[in-house]
Structure 1
Amino acid sequence: MNTVAWTFAAIAMVIGGGCLVLIAWAVISQLLTPLDKRYEQVRKELLKRESPTGVVQISATPRVGVKADKVREIAEELGFVYDGDSNIHSRQLNFHRPLPGGARSTSGDSPTGAARTTSTATSTTPGGAPDHSAFLAQLASLTTDSSGTARVDLGDFHPRQHKELVRLADAHGWTYVHPDRRDGRAGFLATRHGTETVTTNDEYFIKGPGIDELSRDPVAQRVATEAEAEFGVNPLSPLAYNEAAARYKADSRRTNRWAAVFTLPFLTLIVVALATGRLLGDGGTTAAVVVGIWVGLAALATLGVVGLTHAHRRRKANLAPYKQAYEKVAHAAVHGGHGISDRSAADDAH
């Protein structure tokens, strides 16, 4: 029993020690950086995060040893005016400054493809109330991509408005999924009420235009009928999409569990082998216990590999009918549709 207790104590110490080393290294590397250089890093981050309308939001402690008061001082040196704190995910400091030339807007496709966004500037009505017409126009122009989401851009809105705009989007049929900052611009991914989304473990899910966009294309509609006859499912049906996405996510969770069953004992086996290998030379009961632990961990890792392989194959098989039907329709639309582009490569890169 002493050997077994020592073995598991060694595992705990190695894992815990590794975590402490990583944390300590991150803190020490910051502390070794001269304070003036950390201040300069904060200046650069403020300028990098600044939106086209002069609004910026930054963490209250962007660098170790740099407190909120110092961040405010640096921001004021750059001409920013402090607008108070917000605490959506963690304490953030809000600033703004007037820019020459006023605000500008940009538009374009997101890296995931069809989730188009339009940047919109903050304005007010004559009575002083926030004017949400530009934001509502953005919502009206959103098109979901193959993950079931569209990106809502908040880059030109003051951070204090973000929660209000998320609620406004929900009131107009768009459910908040998770935050999405790109190129220094704040935003979030949203999905239509009642739509399943696949934004994680999406390596084997469908890639390309969203079914919203495909449903408006005559070529896609015609080919969808053929695909339904061939594969037994209409890929443009929201119900079929939701069922396929929900099943894919359930299968992915099962696959992830089997991956953990393999990974944890496999890594533990490596640590144990390194820590207890010398005990094999003692022979007798000690060596037998060590070998027994090795065999048990190896058996668990083997079980994990078998389960992971089976779960992965099952996930692919369950998705296959819908995915094949979708790819048939998407291919026809991209090569013969009206203005539909192939975004699967961009999806893979993202």
Structure 2
Amino acid sequence: MAAQFVPYTPDVEDDDPHFDQNVQTVIAKTEAYITESVKAGGTGRALRDAHAKGYGLVRGEVEILDGLPPEYAQGIYATPGTHDALIRFSNGSPHAGADARLGAATGLALKIFDIPGPTLLEDEPDTGTFDYANINGPIFFCNTVEHYLFIQELFLNAPAYFSQGRPGAHRFFTDFVTGKGTLDQDDWAWDEFLAFLRLSKTPPANLLLSSYWTMGAVRHGDYIAKVRITPDPSFAAAVVRRDIDPTSAQEVFRPALEAELQERPYAFDIQVQLCTDLERMPVEDTTVEWPEQLSPSVTVAKLRLPRQDISGPENLEKMDSLSFTPWRVTAEHAPLGNIMRSRKEVYRQSSMERHKLNQQPRTEPRSVAEVLGPAQ
């Protein structure tokens, strides 16, 4: 059985000679946006440059399942057991404000506690925490740091484009495909643009009814994978507030999440999809969806959310003080690919800048109770 899965080797990733230089440019632009967001963002606080608006911080528990096939029982999933967890639900936009203005891209960031072994963050190797930062789409619209340089700028300035109606939208689309005029015609970002269009058509959904994927590939011990956090069907069937209309009120996602969690517990499946074909399941091209018929997603853990009350501004305050990064993982789960590699230092530097501007201590919690208090 193991022979059908592509083994992990370092050469599955491409080397980009301009990587470090481009990452430093992204960091500079990100820090400038975060600094300007204190006045321009409308909240009086420094905002994240993506997933700026959070919808709630939720207490949870991850049960790593026993009896997994050896190809899936890799890294942290090789040891069955239960771990406390925190979940941050958010909107994917770099802007805050009414839900109707932010789009339907949403995220689930997961922090698992009491995970042994050093993380891949050199400045905090011994936190004992393990993060996922997942989005509600199986693909992403950016493959390289070179592309990210102009795509980031477009998204940060999107309100200015789209406030001008159709002409502004046309300029946004043209600038996206051409890299704001920097790309040769043969290199226009058509794959990225088509992925963006696909994701932009994602219908709004209750946060508990969405699936959330790692933005790109990750190492899974001896193999290569993508990780999906998807609703447990039996719990999803019990959700009452299924239809989400962002135009019906200024806030729609958070009230629905609050109400559901006050009334009933919930559960997601944490699933691993192992790579079987690097051509059809590429590491460096995040615009390609990995076909389930080549390799189905297999449940390796349960993410359980007990009934709880997340209402009140203190929940949002505690959520805002936390940091999530796909690089706060052990080496067996390292993010893979050019764009995933860029997130390591970009996330670290942007988190440091945001916490400094908001005068928040930037310390990784050691337990859920340290953040939310003891379970009720």
TM-score > 0.5 by shorter chain:
no
Identify the structure with bigger relative contact order (alpha carbons < 8 Å, sequence gap 6+). 2
TM-score by length of 1: 0.22
